[in-house]
Chains A and B, each alone.
Chain A
Amino acid sequence: ETGVTQSPTHLIKTRGQQVTLRCSSQSGHNTVSWYQQALGQGPQFIFQYYREEENGRGNFPPRFSGLQFPNYSSELNVNALELDDSALYLCASSLKVLGGGASDTQYFGPGTRLTVL
């Protein structure tokens, strides 16, 4: 086990609703990345948070937003849910060292399975 936890495990929402997913990073890690994994596909990078600020974003619309808290835990918020948002949402934590980055191994949580009806 990586020590990265996510809640809830499963979630069912209807189109147009809003959802908040939560992630607790591994002890000692300061960076959280969020990924969307649609069925049968590889994870797609949504965004990354480092020291409470967004540090890079993938090709996702603004209705996907996030937060990182002083204890380095994080939230992913999705507004105006669409059917295509149904996926496994993965959180990964890592330790970013100034001047480093290349060796930041990301450790993943078990994911939240979101179903949008």
Chain B
Amino acid sequence: AQSVAQPEDQVNVAEGNPLTVKCTYSVSGNPYLFWYVQYPNRGLQFLLKYITGDNLVKGSYGFEAEFNKSQTSFHLKKPSALVSDSALYFCAAGGRSNDYKLSFGAGTTVTVRA
């Protein structure tokens, strides 16, 4: 069975500092990995995905993520965080064995202080 872990419930950073949100996954075969962001009382907003190719994936709003197959990780990063990045972030994974149905992590709340 596939699964996703986000080891940190909360991440707090100062505006302008680098932001990292961690994610590890367990998927049979090649994984397909996604990051979504959720603002209060809203649905999930797609940020970026890794399917194949370059291990560094660039997405919306200056976010990027690095796929590391040996560590089964897909950490989300942003070089310089903004207060408006404060939200709930979800990592999701799918694989061919499960017909790409997504499994989500429990989420990480990011707070960026001014």
Q: Which residues of A line the B interface, CB within 8 A?
A: 2, 4, 6, 33, 35, 40-45, 48, 55-56, 58, 90, 92, 101-111
Contacts and interface: CB of A to CB of B under 8 A. Distances in A.
Contacts of A107: 46
Interface of B: 4, 32, 34, 36, 41-46, 49, 51-52, 90, 94, 96, 98-107
Contact of B96 (A4, A101, A109, A110): A101
Chain A binding surface, main DSSP class? loop
B5 to A, nearest CB: 10
Contacts of B32: 102-103
A2 B43 contact: yes
Contacts of B51: 102-103
B93 to A, nearest CB: 11
Nearest to A6: B43
A51 to B, nearest CB: 14
Contacts of A45: 101-103
A2 B43 CA distance: 10
A70 B43 CA distance: 25
A106 B43 CA distance: 12
Contacts of B4: 42
Contact of A43 (B45, B49, B104): B104
A106 B102 contact: yes
Given A56-B99, A101-B99, A105-B49, A42 B43 contact: no
A4 B101 contact: no
